[in-house]
Amino acid sequence: VKLRLAQYSQRMLDQIAADERIDYDDIHEGLLYLYRDPKRFEAGIKKMKLVQEHGQKQDVLDPDGVVEAEPYFAPVKHKIAGAIYGVTDSSGDSVKFCRQVQAACERMGSKFVLGNGVTRLSARGGKVQSVTLDDGGSLTADLFVLSAGVHSPKIARSVGVRLPIAPAKGYSATFPIKGNGGMKLRIGCVDEELLVAWCRIGDRLRVTSSAEFTGYETTYNEHDLRLIRKLTQDLLPDAAEYDQGAYRACNRPMTPDGPPILGQAGPDNLYINSGHGHMGFTMACGSSRIVADLIDGKKTEIPVEGLTLTSRP
Protein backbone atom coordinates (compact mmCIF):
# COMPACT_ATOMS: atom_id res chain seq x y z
CA VAL A 1 0.00 0.00 0.00
CA LYS A 2 2.79 2.38 1.00
CA LEU A 3 4.99 1.62 -2.00
CA ARG A 4 2.08 2.18 -4.38
CA LEU A 5 1.31 5.53 -2.72
CA ALA A 6 5.01 6.54 -2.76
CA GLN A 7 5.34 5.70 -6.47
CA TYR A 8 2.15 7.63 -7.28
CA SER A 9 3.33 10.56 -5.13
CA GLN A 10 6.63 10.74 -6.95
CA ARG A 11 4.75 11.10 -10.24
CA MET A 12 2.54 13.84 -8.74
CA LEU A 13 5.56 15.63 -7.23
CA ASP A 14 7.39 15.63 -10.58
CA GLN A 15 4.24 16.88 -12.31
CA ILE A 16 3.65 19.75 -9.85
CA ALA A 17 7.34 20.74 -9.96
CA ALA A 18 7.25 20.79 -13.77
CA ASP A 19 3.88 22.59 -14.07
CA GLU A 20 4.77 25.27 -11.51
CA ARG A 21 8.49 25.39 -12.45
CA ILE A 22 9.52 24.67 -8.86
CA ASP A 23 13.24 24.41 -8.16
CA TYR A 24 13.67 22.68 -4.80
CA ASP A 25 17.33 21.67 -5.11
CA ASP A 26 16.09 18.34 -6.37
CA ILE A 27 18.54 15.65 -7.39
CA HIS A 28 17.27 12.77 -9.53
CA GLU A 29 20.24 10.43 -9.35
CA GLY A 30 18.73 7.62 -7.26
CA LEU A 31 19.50 6.68 -3.65
CA LEU A 32 22.09 4.24 -2.26
CA TYR A 33 21.17 1.88 0.60
CA LEU A 34 24.64 1.09 1.95
CA TYR A 35 25.58 -2.10 3.79
CA ARG A 36 28.75 -2.68 5.76
CA ASP A 37 28.12 -6.25 6.88
CA PRO A 38 27.99 -8.93 4.11
CA LYS A 39 25.31 -10.98 5.94
CA ARG A 40 23.01 -7.98 6.28
CA PHE A 41 23.69 -7.14 2.65
CA GLU A 42 22.49 -10.64 1.65
CA ALA A 43 19.33 -10.17 3.74
CA GLY A 44 18.80 -6.72 2.20
CA ILE A 45 19.01 -8.18 -1.31
CA LYS A 46 16.32 -10.74 -0.41
CA LYS A 47 14.03 -7.98 0.91
CA MET A 48 14.73 -5.89 -2.19
CA LYS A 49 13.07 -8.56 -4.34
CA LEU A 50 9.73 -7.70 -2.72
CA VAL A 51 9.80 -4.08 -3.89
CA GLN A 52 11.26 -5.10 -7.27
CA GLU A 53 8.23 -7.35 -7.80
CA HIS A 54 6.09 -4.24 -7.35
CA GLY A 55 7.86 -2.35 -10.12
CA GLN A 56 10.54 -0.45 -8.17
CA LYS A 57 13.82 -0.47 -10.11
CA GLN A 58 16.73 -1.38 -7.84
CA ASP A 59 20.25 -2.60 -8.66
CA VAL A 60 22.77 -4.44 -6.50
CA LEU A 61 26.22 -2.79 -6.40
CA ASP A 62 29.52 -4.22 -5.14
CA PRO A 63 31.98 -1.79 -3.48
CA ASP A 64 33.47 -0.81 -6.88
CA GLY A 65 29.97 -0.12 -8.18
CA VAL A 66 29.27 2.03 -5.12
CA VAL A 67 32.38 4.14 -5.80
CA GLU A 68 31.43 4.44 -9.45
CA ALA A 69 27.98 5.71 -8.43
CA GLU A 70 29.36 8.01 -5.70
CA PRO A 71 33.09 8.76 -6.10
CA TYR A 72 33.09 10.30 -2.62
CA PHE A 73 33.28 6.79 -1.15
CA ALA A 74 36.63 5.90 -2.80
CA PRO A 75 38.69 6.49 0.40
CA VAL A 76 36.24 4.43 2.55
CA LYS A 77 35.50 1.65 0.05
CA HIS A 78 36.99 -0.98 2.38
CA LYS A 79 34.23 -0.23 4.94
CA ILE A 80 31.42 -1.01 2.48
CA ALA A 81 30.08 -4.52 1.69
CA GLY A 82 27.82 -3.25 -1.08
CA ALA A 83 24.68 -1.28 -1.75
CA ILE A 84 21.20 -1.50 -3.16
CA TYR A 85 20.77 1.32 -5.62
CA GLY A 86 17.23 2.72 -5.85
CA VAL A 87 17.63 3.96 -9.39
CA THR A 88 14.50 6.11 -9.61
CA ASP A 89 14.67 7.63 -6.10
CA SER A 90 15.34 11.33 -5.71
CA SER A 91 15.90 13.96 -3.02
CA GLY A 92 15.18 17.65 -2.51
CA ASP A 93 14.40 20.46 -0.10
CA SER A 94 10.86 19.93 1.21
CA VAL A 95 10.66 23.40 2.80
CA LYS A 96 11.66 25.09 -0.45
CA PHE A 97 9.11 22.97 -2.31
CA CYS A 98 6.31 23.81 0.17
CA ARG A 99 7.03 27.55 0.07
CA GLN A 100 6.77 27.56 -3.70
CA VAL A 101 3.57 25.50 -3.63
CA GLN A 102 2.20 28.04 -1.15
CA ALA A 103 3.14 30.89 -3.52
CA ALA A 104 1.47 29.06 -6.44
CA CYS A 105 -1.72 28.57 -4.37
CA GLU A 106 -1.70 32.26 -3.38
CA ARG A 107 -1.44 33.22 -7.05
CA MET A 108 -4.62 31.17 -7.56
CA GLY A 109 -6.37 33.04 -4.73
CA SER A 110 -5.73 30.87 -1.65
CA LYS A 111 -5.24 32.56 1.70
CA PHE A 112 -2.95 31.08 4.37
CA VAL A 113 -3.56 31.89 8.05
CA LEU A 114 -0.37 30.97 9.91
CA GLY A 115 0.71 31.19 13.54
CA ASN A 116 -2.79 30.77 15.00
CA GLY A 117 -3.35 27.13 15.98
CA VAL A 118 -6.60 25.17 16.05
CA THR A 119 -7.67 24.12 19.54
CA ARG A 120 -10.82 22.21 18.57
CA LEU A 121 -13.46 21.48 15.95
CA SER A 122 -17.17 22.04 16.61
CA ALA A 123 -19.74 19.79 14.92
CA ARG A 124 -23.53 19.93 14.66
CA GLY A 125 -25.94 17.84 12.59
CA GLY A 126 -23.16 15.47 11.46
CA LYS A 127 -21.04 18.30 10.06
CA VAL A 128 -18.09 20.29 11.33
CA GLN A 129 -19.30 23.88 11.63
CA SER A 130 -16.15 25.69 12.75
CA VAL A 131 -12.66 25.55 14.22
CA THR A 132 -11.71 27.39 17.38
CA LEU A 133 -8.33 29.13 17.24
CA ASP A 134 -5.62 29.73 19.86
CA ASP A 135 -6.53 33.42 20.07
CA GLY A 136 -10.16 32.53 20.89
CA GLY A 137 -11.43 33.39 17.40
CA SER A 138 -13.07 30.89 15.08
CA LEU A 139 -13.29 30.05 11.39
CA THR A 140 -16.24 28.54 9.56
CA ALA A 141 -16.03 26.57 6.31
CA ASP A 142 -17.93 24.14 4.09
CA LEU A 143 -15.20 21.54 4.37
CA PHE A 144 -12.25 20.80 6.67
CA VAL A 145 -9.03 18.85 5.95
CA LEU A 146 -7.08 17.85 9.05
CA SER A 147 -3.28 17.65 8.55
CA ALA A 148 -1.72 18.61 11.86
CA GLY A 149 1.01 15.96 12.08
CA VAL A 150 1.28 14.36 15.52
CA HIS A 151 -1.40 16.77 16.81
CA SER A 152 -4.12 15.54 14.42
CA PRO A 153 -5.53 12.97 16.92
CA LYS A 154 -6.15 15.59 19.60
CA ILE A 155 -8.05 17.84 17.18
CA ALA A 156 -10.01 14.89 15.69
CA ARG A 157 -11.03 13.74 19.18
CA SER A 158 -12.93 17.00 19.70
CA VAL A 159 -15.54 15.65 17.24
CA GLY A 160 -15.32 12.03 18.41
CA VAL A 161 -12.90 10.71 15.75
CA ARG A 162 -10.07 8.48 16.97
CA LEU A 163 -6.93 8.60 14.82
CA PRO A 164 -4.20 6.01 15.54
CA ILE A 165 -1.23 8.39 15.12
CA ALA A 166 1.68 8.61 17.59
CA PRO A 167 4.94 10.59 17.61
CA ALA A 168 8.36 9.04 16.84
CA LYS A 169 11.14 11.54 17.41
CA GLY A 170 14.08 11.89 15.02
CA TYR A 171 17.10 14.17 14.70
CA SER A 172 18.46 16.13 11.79
CA ALA A 173 21.72 18.01 11.26
CA THR A 174 22.53 20.39 8.42
CA PHE A 175 26.10 21.38 7.55
CA PRO A 176 27.59 23.68 4.88
CA ILE A 177 29.27 21.54 2.21
CA LYS A 178 33.01 21.99 1.73
CA GLY A 179 34.36 23.16 -1.61
CA ASN A 180 36.67 20.14 -2.07
CA GLY A 181 37.97 21.29 -5.43
CA GLY A 182 34.50 21.38 -6.95
CA MET A 183 33.70 17.73 -6.09
CA LYS A 184 30.14 17.43 -4.81
CA LEU A 185 28.23 14.61 -3.15
CA ARG A 186 25.94 13.30 -5.86
CA ILE A 187 23.68 10.70 -4.38
CA GLY A 188 21.52 10.55 -1.27
CA CYS A 189 22.23 7.50 0.93
CA VAL A 190 20.97 5.45 3.83
CA ASP A 191 23.50 3.64 6.03
CA GLU A 192 21.59 0.43 6.77
CA GLU A 193 23.90 -0.31 9.73
CA LEU A 194 23.47 2.95 11.64
CA LEU A 195 20.08 3.77 10.08
CA VAL A 196 21.31 7.26 9.26
CA ALA A 197 20.24 8.93 6.01
CA TRP A 198 21.80 11.87 4.20
CA CYS A 199 21.63 13.89 1.02
CA ARG A 200 22.97 17.09 -0.45
CA ILE A 201 20.49 19.96 -0.52
CA GLY A 202 22.05 22.67 -2.66
CA ASP A 203 25.27 23.59 -0.86
CA ARG A 204 24.23 21.92 2.41
CA LEU A 205 24.51 18.37 3.69
CA ARG A 206 21.42 17.10 5.57
CA VAL A 207 21.93 14.08 7.83
CA THR A 208 19.04 12.46 9.77
CA SER A 209 18.77 9.64 12.30
CA SER A 210 16.82 7.75 14.95
CA ALA A 211 13.20 6.98 15.79
CA GLU A 212 12.43 7.26 19.51
CA PHE A 213 9.15 7.14 21.40
CA THR A 214 9.50 9.98 23.90
CA GLY A 215 6.04 11.53 23.80
CA TYR A 216 5.49 14.91 22.18
CA GLU A 217 8.68 16.68 23.28
CA THR A 218 11.32 17.73 20.73
CA THR A 219 14.45 18.30 22.79
CA TYR A 220 17.91 16.97 21.87
CA ASN A 221 21.37 16.80 23.37
CA GLU A 222 24.84 15.84 22.17
CA HIS A 223 24.26 12.16 23.03
CA ASP A 224 21.21 12.08 20.73
CA LEU A 225 23.41 13.18 17.82
CA ARG A 226 25.96 10.37 18.28
CA LEU A 227 24.85 8.31 15.25
CA ILE A 228 25.00 11.36 13.01
CA ARG A 229 28.50 12.14 14.32
CA LYS A 230 29.61 8.52 13.86
CA LEU A 231 28.31 8.41 10.31
CA THR A 232 29.93 11.66 9.22
CA GLN A 233 33.28 10.68 10.79
CA ASP A 234 33.13 7.16 9.34
CA LEU A 235 31.99 7.71 5.77
CA LEU A 236 32.02 11.44 4.99
CA PRO A 237 34.93 12.86 7.00
CA ASP A 238 35.73 15.68 4.55
CA ALA A 239 32.34 16.41 3.03
CA ALA A 240 31.17 19.34 5.16
CA GLU A 241 32.00 21.95 7.80
CA TYR A 242 31.01 19.83 10.78
CA ASP A 243 31.67 22.60 13.31
CA GLN A 244 28.91 24.70 11.71
CA GLY A 245 25.94 22.36 12.14
CA ALA A 246 22.31 23.38 12.62
CA TYR A 247 20.33 20.76 14.56
CA ARG A 248 16.68 19.88 15.10
CA ALA A 249 14.52 17.22 16.68
CA CYS A 250 11.06 16.59 15.19
CA ASN A 251 8.22 14.13 15.67
CA ARG A 252 7.12 11.86 12.85
CA PRO A 253 3.36 11.15 12.85
CA MET A 254 3.36 7.33 12.80
CA THR A 255 0.42 4.97 12.25
CA PRO A 256 0.68 1.42 13.62
CA ASP A 257 0.41 -0.24 10.18
CA GLY A 258 2.50 2.31 8.22
CA PRO A 259 0.35 4.04 5.58
CA PRO A 260 -1.15 7.48 6.28
CA ILE A 261 -4.87 8.02 6.96
CA LEU A 262 -6.62 9.64 3.99
CA GLY A 263 -10.22 10.57 3.29
CA GLN A 264 -13.45 11.32 5.11
CA ALA A 265 -13.81 10.37 8.79
CA GLY A 266 -16.57 11.12 11.33
CA PRO A 267 -18.55 14.25 10.35
CA ASP A 268 -19.48 14.30 6.62
CA ASN A 269 -17.31 17.29 5.78
CA LEU A 270 -14.17 16.29 7.72
CA TYR A 271 -11.30 14.81 5.69
CA ILE A 272 -8.01 13.50 7.05
CA ASN A 273 -4.58 13.74 5.37
CA SER A 274 -2.28 12.72 8.20
CA GLY A 275 -0.02 10.02 9.66
CA HIS A 276 2.71 9.87 6.99
CA GLY A 277 5.33 8.69 9.49
CA HIS A 278 8.90 8.72 8.21
CA MET A 279 7.91 9.37 4.59
CA GLY A 280 5.77 12.50 4.59
CA PHE A 281 7.54 14.30 1.75
CA THR A 282 7.70 11.08 -0.25
CA MET A 283 3.95 10.49 0.04
CA ALA A 284 2.67 14.10 0.22
CA CYS A 285 1.73 14.95 -3.35
CA GLY A 286 -0.10 11.68 -4.05
CA SER A 287 -1.90 11.84 -0.70
CA SER A 288 -3.12 15.36 -1.37
CA ARG A 289 -4.31 14.40 -4.83
CA ILE A 290 -6.20 11.41 -3.44
CA VAL A 291 -7.89 13.53 -0.76
CA ALA A 292 -8.79 16.18 -3.36
CA ASP A 293 -10.28 13.50 -5.65
CA LEU A 294 -12.29 12.02 -2.75
CA ILE A 295 -13.62 15.48 -1.87
CA ASP A 296 -14.63 16.01 -5.52
CA GLY A 297 -16.31 12.58 -5.60
CA LYS A 298 -13.92 11.47 -8.37
CA LYS A 299 -12.42 8.03 -8.84
CA THR A 300 -8.92 8.08 -7.35
CA GLU A 301 -6.06 7.13 -9.66
CA ILE A 302 -4.82 4.44 -7.27
CA PRO A 303 -6.96 2.26 -4.94
CA VAL A 304 -7.59 3.70 -1.48
CA GLU A 305 -7.94 0.35 0.30
CA GLY A 306 -5.59 0.39 3.29
CA LEU A 307 -5.44 4.20 3.28
CA THR A 308 -8.85 5.28 4.58
CA LEU A 309 -9.66 4.95 8.28
CA THR A 310 -12.28 2.26 7.67
CA SER A 311 -10.36 0.10 5.16
CA ARG A 312 -7.30 -0.79 7.21
CA PRO A 313 -6.31 -4.36 7.97
Ligand X SMILES: Cc1cc2nc3c(=O)[nH]c(=O)nc-3n(C[C@H](O)[C@H](O)[C@H](O)COP(=O)(O)OP(=O)(O)OC[C@H]3O[C@@H](n4cnc5c(N)ncnc54)[C@H](O)[C@@H]3O)c2cc1C
The residues binding ligand X (CB under 6 A) are 117-118, 147-149, 151, 155, 170-172, 197, 208, 250, 252-253, 274, 276-282
Closer residue to ligand X (CB): 58 or 152: 152
Q: How far apart are the first and last CA of the chain?
A: 11
Of 200 and 252, the one with the shorter C-beta distance to ligand X is 252
Please state the closest distance from residue 276 (CB atom) to ligand X, in A. 4
At 171, phi and psi to the nearest 5? -120, 145
Q: Does an H or E element contain 246, and which? A: strand 246-254
Torsion angle, alpha carbons of 258, 146, 170, 90, to 10: 70
223 CB-near residues (< 8 Å, 6+ apart): none
Distance in Å, CB of 255 to ligand X, minimum: 11
| Residue 288: C-alpha distances to residues 13, 26, 285 (Å) | 10, 20, 5
Nearer to ligand X, 6 or 67 (CB): 6
Say which amino acid occupies 61.
Answer: L
CB of 32 to ligand X, least distance (A): 14
Judged by CB, which is closer to ligand X: 253, or 259? 253
Nearer to ligand X by Cβ, of 58 and 282: the residue is: 282
CB of 206 to ligand X, least distance (A): 8
Closest separation in Å from C-beta 22 to ligand X: 16
- Closest CB to ligand X among residues 18, 113: 113
Residue 233 Cα distances to 3, 68, 221, 255, angstroms:
32, 21, 18, 33
CB 283, min distance to ligand X, A: 7
Q: Any idea of the CA torsion for 70, 200, 13, 294, to the nearest 10 degrees?
A: 110
Give ∠ CA 58-64-68 in degrees, rounded to 5: 70
Strands 166-176 and 188-191: unpaired
Nearer to ligand X, 76 or 98 (CB): 98
Q: How many helices (H) and strands (E) does the chain have?
A: 7, 14
Q: How far is the CB of 47 from ligand X (least distance, A)?
A: 19
Position of minimal CB gap to ligand X: 280
